[in-house]
Amino acid sequence: MATTEQREATLQEQAKRHLWLHFSRMGAYSAGADIPVIVRGEGCHVWDENGKRYFDGLSALFCVNIGHGRHDLAAAGAEQAKELGFFTNWSYAHPPAIRLAARIAELAPGDLNRVFFTSGGSEAVETMLKLARQYHKLTGHPNKTKVIAREIAYHGTSLGALSATGITALRAPFEPFTPGGCHVPNTNQYRLKPGYGAEMLADAVAERIEFEGPETVAAVVMEPVQNAGGCLTPPPGYFQRVREICDQYDVLMVSDEVICSWGRLGTWFGAQRYDYQPDIITTAKGITSAYAPLGAVITSDKVAEPFLDGTASFLHGFTFAGHPISCAVSLANIEAMEQERVLENVQANEPVFRRMLDSLRDIPIVGDVRGAGYFHAIELVKDQDTKESFDEDESEWLLREFLSGALYDAGLICRADDRGDPVLQLSPPLIAGPEHFEEIEGILRPVLEEASRRVRA
């Protein structure tokens, strides 16, 4: 029960007392540090409760693709709320979900024509895992239940999705979870094992399917560019080979595009950038530019077909999935992206963004720069020549004690991450252009130079 005293407390005090932050060491805040409270956004910038401005170099969390402060998206949601605030997709349909499903089918590659909505990315991955299992049961392969994902890949946090997530630290506190998650090497070409050529990476999928037994494997799930580990791009021909392998073993190929769709790589879907045809795409985040929560599982006609027959049904759903307000916002978001040629902006300016990041390579701790579209990472190393990485304590100091705070204080929101080797990630709103990259560089360069000096002192 809130007391008068609590009602009068500042946002900061209330946050510290009542709000449970996700993936956060809350001890730091009990010890006195302030929780960053963001109150407003406009274009590529956000403002905190003290009126300080930041460049949002992460699009909040890889999701505010069209930028902050869009009144048209807000109005689309409000108009829909007045017309029909909510109805469900369980047995019923409503116009925003119908129109959005049709719109997505137009934009998605090949015959990905059927859309199952969810409320976000983990739900999309969870749904895909269940769908893959039931698809194989309906088509006469009841033992095909396993999923192959890649090491250090993040596919969400629900217990099913966690079985695909390949980050030991995120898995360990919650084991055991759904059996059947298997992992193969990712495409970190900066750190290929000796004797391991980039052209061998896709074949690891075939080897793993053979090892598990092809009759037990339901799906392979991969991001077009793997986020965790630091924007790992595929070598040439990688996804084409994975497609062949999936066809050979009757395994569904899933492109997890929770981040890599809706223009992040300069195309509507990441599979289009790398020219492959998955059986299923999972998506979320930028689908509404994050103005409302929504996710989707987009399936091929082949995958949907057994569910359209006789008494079959996919026994799965979530109350709020395909919420009319979220679908209306998503339609407005797609329309605005088209009218304002947002994909073309990413295509035109990706080389400028990349050049700016590459120009930082003269700083001794910048080891690698990699990524695609507006989704890039800088891997930080102790020694550029040997690629020696930081140990756990050094990485803790560099990322958590120095860089995160220093960049934020200097007005740049980006991600310092050590789920693989230590990286900084940048994923700006897709409306950003050369002047914004200069602004990022103006903050990033001096902070990285200072980190480099301190590391070597």
Ligand X SMILES: Cc1ncc(COP(=O)(O)O)c(C=O)c1O
Contacting residue, 54, 55, 154, 276, with ligand X by CB under 6 A: 154
Contact at 8 Å (CB) between 223 and 255? Answer: yes
CB of 290 to ligand X, least distance (A): 10
**Binding residues with ligand X: total (CB under 6 A):** 13
Region of 24-32, 46-54, 255-263, 390-398 interacting with ligand X (CB under 6 A): 255-263
CB of 448 to ligand X, least distance (A): 25
User: Which amino acid, 118?
Assistant: T
Dist. CA 339–CA 169, nearest whole Å: 43
| 417 near ligand X (CB under 6 A) | no
Phi, psi of 37 (to 5 degrees): -110, 110
Residue nearer to ligand X on the CB measure, 149 or 443: 149
Contacting residue, 156, 266, 322, 422, with ligand X by CB under 6 A: 156
| 256 near ligand X (CB under 6 A) | yes
Dist. CA 344–CA 447, nearest whole Å: 31
Contacting residue, 80, 122, 283, 289, with ligand X by CB under 6 A: 122
Residue nearer to ligand X on the CB measure, 120 or 160: 120
CB of 401 to ligand X, least distance (A): 25
Residue nearer to ligand X on the CB measure, 260 or 363: 260
Dist. CA 272–CA 260, nearest whole Å: 10
Dist. CA 130–CA 314, nearest whole Å: 9
Q: Which residue has the tokens 């495409």?
A: 187
Residue nearer to ligand X on the CB measure, 188 or 389: 188
Residue nearer to ligand X on the CB measure, 74 or 167: 167
CB of 321 to ligand X, least distance (A): 12
Residue nearer to ligand X on the CB measure, 152 or 259: 259
Region of 119-127, 340-348, 372-380, 393-401 interacting with ligand X (CB under 6 A): 119-127
Region of 251-259, 305-313, 377-385, 430-438 interacting with ligand X (CB under 6 A): 251-259
- Dig out the tokens for 215 from the structure: 């009759």
Residue nearer to ligand X on the CB measure, 120 or 322: 120
Region of 179-187, 256-264, 272-280, 322-330 interacting with ligand X (CB under 6 A): 256-264
Region of 115-123, 307-315, 378-386, 388-396 interacting with ligand X (CB under 6 A): 115-123
| 120 near ligand X (CB under 6 A) | yes
CB of 61 to ligand X, least distance (A): 7
CB of 256 to ligand X, least distance (A): 4
Dist. CA 352–CA 364, nearest whole Å: 22
Residue nearer to ligand X on the CB measure, 112 or 128: 128
- What part of residues 201-230 is at the interface with ligand X (CB under 6 A)? 223, 227
What Cα–Cα distance (Å) separates residue 9 from each residue in 4, 29, 418?
Answer: 9, 16, 35
Dist. CA 281–CA 270, nearest whole Å: 10
| 77 near ligand X (CB under 6 A) | no
Contact at 8 Å (CB) between 262 and 283? Answer: yes
What Cα–Cα distance (Å) separates residue 14 from each residue in 3, 8, 86, 319, 347?
Answer: 12, 9, 31, 30, 43
| 259 near ligand X (CB under 6 A) | yes
- What part of residues 282-321 is at the interface with ligand X (CB under 6 A)? 284
| 121 near ligand X (CB under 6 A) | yes
Residue nearer to ligand X on the CB measure, 170 or 360: 170
The full length of the chain comes to 457
Residue nearer to ligand X on the CB measure, 155 or 370: 155
Strand partners, 376: 371, 426
Q: Which residue has the tokens 């009542």?
A: 18
CB of 306 to ligand X, least distance (A): 25
Residue nearer to ligand X on the CB measure, 121 or 367: 121
| 375 near ligand X (CB under 6 A) | no
Q: Which residues in this chain contact ligand X in the complex, by CB under 6 A?
A: 120-122, 125, 154-156, 223, 227, 256, 258-259, 284
